[in-house]
Chains A and B, each alone.
Chain A
Amino acid sequence: MELELGLALPSSDLMMEKSTFCKKRRFDEVLDENTVTLPLFMQREEDSDSDRGFERSSEELNFGGGRVIVGWPPVKLSRRRTSCVKVNMEGIAIGRKVDLSLHDSYQALFLTLYTMFPKKQHEEEDGAYNSYKVTYEDEEGDWMLVGDVPWEAFIKSAKRLKIITY
């Protein structure tokens, strides 16, 4: 079960205005037991004649173990005009949202992510510093390493982010 916060960067009024489309909710609203986020894809019961022997290629597992459906809902990608994407960090239940259009480079994005998921939340007990990778899901449902493609291409195709340890 994932809960989400959409917090703006701790910065100027202009940023606040732009972030309103990340649909901010108050912390206590989020933690209300009744406001549960439904999974994107409902689990089906096993059908008895599913001895077809192959996985449906439309369903894939993402890093969080949740199911993702390629090409659904049927909207053209250019349609996603809001540049907010969800960010999850491995091992942390609460996800965030980040507005990609407020950043002009990977560096700026990483800075925001570092602010959103401060070290204290994920440090090992012995204080060892873990290495992290930021990955993103692109328009084709594939998980890629953030930073490989030019920034402009990245913000057009990134659907969601996931920070993983390695």
Chain B
Amino acid sequence: MVGRFRWAAMFPDEVWEHVFSFLTSDADRNAAALVCRNWNRIERRSRKRVFVGNCYSVAPTVAVRLFPEVRAAVIKGKPHFADFNLVPSDWGGGAEAWVEAMAEGWPNLEELRFKRMVVSDDCLDLIARSFKNFKVLSLVSCDGFSTSGLAAIAANCRNLRELNLRESEVEETCLNWISHFPESCTSLVALDIACLEGEVNASILERLISRCSNIMTLRLNHSVPLERLVGLLQRAPQLMDLGTGKFSARHNPQLFSRLESAIAGCKNLRNLSGFWEPGLTYLPAVYSICEGLTSLNLNYATIQNPELVKLISRCKNLRRLLVMDLIEDSGLVAVASSCKLLQELRVFPSDPYDAAEPVSLTEQGLVAVSAGCPMLHSVLYFCRQMTNAALLTVAKNRPNLTCFRLCIIEPRTPDYVTQEPLDTGFSAIVESCKDLRRLSVSGLLTDLVFKSIGASANYLEMLSIAFAGDGDMGLHYILSGCKNLRKLEIRDCPFGDKPLLQNASKLETMRSLWMSSCSVTLGACRQLARAMPRLNVEVINESGRGPLVAQPDNCPVEKLYIYRTIAGPRTDTPQCVWTI
């Protein structure tokens, strides 16, 4: 068969490199790399962008050596459930090993994006000093660093274009870190500091924004008062993406009209967010740009109806809406008739821990939007009641759903009309929505729903399950079906050893599996680890029962995290984590 590929050798490597440069998706580049040895060598040597979905799946030094020309890297760390405090804070996901390897092997690195990693100030310092052409730093849902680290980045990254700290936890050690951007810094295009808890000096920010004429994204934190927002907007009328700071002030008609005209001057505004502590008097100041908005994020804005609906109804071109359940069913009905281009909807609970006073947001709102918004494909919905009938309607209305995450707040809640499990409803979703990539189920569910999911959800990549199922068969259906499953996260389900052992090889086709408060025993983990050397089987036991090595096979496992890796067991596990 060698002869068939002889023509390939007629072209010098540079030609193939150029051809490969048109392959933008990782999947396509991966496929090209598997064609033959030559293409493998050429592709990996010319690859500019690398995505590492699990930081422990490959050793940093190996990744850096294999792909020497990388300019942009995305690295993800902790399991998703770390967002909800299910993962011990010292579990891992430290960025040092990666940053050190990159500093050594990728001096031309321009873009670095970390998600759910622990990034220290030392890391930030190393980043600031190591990459002479560094342009983009994105730390999403990260922690471990402080504003001192940010000061180092600001001071040393001369061509910094983007600094994004979305939803990270940042210690406030350096009060005026923003002032560390030198006067010569004019390159900023995107700055997202919304997560910062401390004060940000608005005057220094204003001067920075003034000299960065290409600034397109500016997301402020709650400390920036409305009065200062005016000045910032006047200096950056070209903004496309704005996250306001505090959105209230004492009643002041002059401030209102100055704000109104500053906002109206931002004719390119497409994304709007922020609205910390919103005061109703100032909301109308944004009305003028509503029609141009494609994305509106009100998930921190405690605005209620009717003002909330008044605002959203003006946004006729909205593609993406994030809002609290304060919108209620009536508000979603209005969205369904006003926002015909809506593609993504996320409704968050305003009062997640308090069952006493529900807002009037039910399954009706979801049904209304599913009927009225033909392009809706991504849904995240928190509510307190649901019916199979509603889910069937949603499934029928929106077969184009790619992401459906439903969280009924009280675990094991049945269909409130029929008192039945919600099996038929969710089954309808997976059977109708053939392109579904992500699914979260909730409410009262038996093994039957997992049978449907396993059989029908052929493109499902991520599945989240909580307080559901009857027994082992539930998990078996999932692991023996769902051909494209990559991430599975399960909590509080009666799934045990058998389905894991029966489907061990499936686990190697996935990125990771998380199981907590299920019925898995240590013995099964030991068996699994022995049978599958390319999996790391990590057991997390926080109740201090003593070294796991001494525990018997029938010892129950509190939390289990299994992931495929070519790096072998990691060396940075804390006390409560054992790699079996």
Which A residues fall within an 8 A CB radius of B? 4, 21, 23, 37-42, 44, 47, 49, 52-54, 56-58, 69-82, 86, 139-141, 152, 159-160
Contacts and interface: CB of A to CB of B under 8 A. Distances in A.
Given A52-B519, A56-B492, A79-B348, A23 B84 contact: no
Interface of B: 81, 83-86, 167, 195, 197, 276, 299-300, 302, 348-357, 382, 407, 409-412, 464, 466, 471, 491-492, 494, 516-517, 519, 543, 556, 558
Given A52-B556, A58-B517, A76 B84 contact: yes
Most buried by B among A49, A81, A140: A81
Contact of A71 (B81, B299, B300): B81
Given A54-B556, A75-B84, A160 B299 contact: no
B300 A70 contact: no
14 contacts: A37-B356, A38-B355, A38-B356, A41-B411, A71-B85, A72-B411, A73-B349, A74-B464, A74-B466, A75-B84, A78-B167, A79-B348, A80-B353, A152-B197
Contacts of B543: 57
A54 B494 CA distance: 12
A74 B83 contact: yes
A42 B412 contact: yes
Nearest to A58: B517
B516 A58 contact: yes
A70 B85 contact: yes
Most buried by B among A74, A78, A80: A74
Contact of A80 (B167, B195, B352, B494): B352
Nearest to B492: A58
Say what secondary structure dominates the interface of chain B: loop
A44 B444 CA distance: 12
A76 B81 contact: no
B353 A74 contact: no
Nearest to A68: B353
Contacts of A54: 556
A76 B410 contact: no
A117 B85 CA distance: 32
Contacts of A76: 83-84, 167
Contact of A81 (B300, B357, B519): B300
A72 B299 contact: no
A140 B85 contact: yes
Nearest to B554: A53
A80 B410 CA distance: 18
B193 to A, nearest CB: 14
Contacts of A39: 355
A47 B492 CA distance: 14
A4 B83 contact: no
Contacts of A57: 516-517, 543, 558
B556 A58 contact: no
Nearest to A95: B356
A58 B491 contact: yes
A152 B517 CA distance: 32
Contacts of A56: 492, 517
B86 A71 contact: yes
A42 B443 CA distance: 12
A82 B86 CA distance: 22
Most buried by B among A53, A76, A141: A76
A58 B195 CA distance: 29
